[in-house]
Amino acid sequence: MRQTALTMVHELARRDPRVLFIGSDLSPGVLKGMKEEMPERFFMEGVSEAYVIGMAAGMAMDGFIPYINTIATFLTRRCLEQICIDACLENLPLRLIASGGGLVYAPLGPTHLATDDIALLRPLPNMAIVAPSDADEMKRLMEASLTWEGPLYIRLGKGGDPIVSRPEAGFAIGKAIPMRPAGRVLIVSTGVMTNRALAAADLLDGIGCGVLHMHTIKPLDVEGLLAAADGAQLVVTLEEHARIGGLGSAVVEALSDAGRLKPTLRLGLPDRFPEGYGSQDHLLELAGLQPSQVADTIRKTLDR
C-alpha cells in the first residue's frame, strides 16, 4: 500500500509541476526514481516533523502540493500544532501519508502504534481523513488526492493486505462504498478492517449482515451512512483505532445528530496501551477484532 502511494506521488509529480515529495529521514533509496528525475521536487529532510509541516505549509502557500511521508505516530502526535495552525487554519493542500496506521508496527511497541491518529486529527477544521482498504484503493485515492482542496491525512495499512475493493465501485473522497447490503446488521468499517468486516459478515450469513466501507472518516458520508443503516437493527463499527474519537465516535455522532440513533456496537481498541508485541494480527486478536471474534460479539449482542 505504501509502495503504491509513493509510486503514485512520482506519477502525479510527472503530471503536475506543483507536486512535491517530502520525507523525514526515510529508508535509503525511497523514491529513488523521482529523486533522479526531478531532484528539485524531492526533499529528504531531517528527523524534524514540526519543521517539515511548517516548511510544507510555506511551500503550499505559494502554490505547491506537498506529499509528506513518515511514520503515522510522528506525523500526528509530534507536530499536531503545526498541522492545526500551519495547514488546517490556512486550509492548505498538504497530503500526510502516514505509514503504519493502527497496529502495523506491533513488534516495535507503543511509540510506533498509531492508535489515536484519527482522534487527534478529526476535530481539526478543514482536515480530511482517509483510510483505504487495500493497495488498489490506495491508487484510486491518490488519483483523487490531486484535486482535493484542503489538508488530507492518508492512513496506510501494512501492505500485502487482501484486495477487497473493486474498481467498478469507483472512489471519491467523502463517499462511502456499500460492499454488501444490510440485513439485521450493518458493519461500518474503515481501512484494512473492511476485509475483516467482510469475513465476519460471511460468518453471519443467516443473520443478514451488511458492510459499508467508510474509507473517509472525515468528512463523513452521513447520507450514505443513513441510507445503509436504514432498516438495520444493529449498527457495528469496526476500526483499528482507539474506541475513543475514531470511526465509531464519528458514526454515533452522525446518527445522533440525524435523530436516527440505534443500538450500536463500537468495536475498536480498548482505552489502554496495547500489551506485548508480536504481530498486527496478534494485537487485533487480543482486542477481539478478528473476523470470528467480531461475528461472535455481534451474535451475542443480537441475542441479548
Residues contributing to the site for other proteins (CB under 8 A): 40-41, 45-46, 48, 50-64, 81-82, 85-86, 89-90
Least separation in angstroms between residue 47's CB and other proteins is 9
- Residue 39: Cβ within 10 Å count: 9
> Between β-strands 19-24 and 95-99, what pairing exists: parallel, antiparallel or unpaired?
unpaired
Residue closer to other proteins, measured from CB, 59 or 228: 59
Residue closer to other proteins, measured from CB, 62 or 275: 62
Q: How far is CA 264 from the centre of its chain?
A: 21
Residue closer to other proteins, measured from CB, 30 or 50: 50
Cα angle 59, 156, 93 (rounded to 5 degrees) comes to 25
Measured N-to-C along each axis, helices 135-145 and 2-15 cross at an angle, to the nearest 10 degrees, of 30
Least separation in angstroms between residue 123's CB and other proteins is 16
Residue closer to other proteins, measured from CB, 67 or 171: 67
Residue closer to other proteins, measured from CB, 49 or 137: 49
Residues making up the chain, counted from first to last: 304
Least separation in angstroms between residue 27's CB and other proteins is 20
Least separation in angstroms between residue 38's CB and other proteins is 11
Take residue 174 and report the three cell numbers written for it.
467523502
Q: How many CA atoms lie within 13 A of 132 on its CB side?
A: 35
Least separation in angstroms between residue 16's CB and other proteins is 14
Least separation in angstroms between residue 66's CB and other proteins is 8
Q: Where are the alpha helices (DSSP H) in 25-103?
A: 32-37, 49-61, 72-76, 80-82
User: How many distinct helices (H) and strands (E) make up the chain?
Assistant: 12, 12
Rounded Cα distance between 98 and 17, Å, is: 23
Residue closer to other proteins, measured from CB, 85 or 199: 85
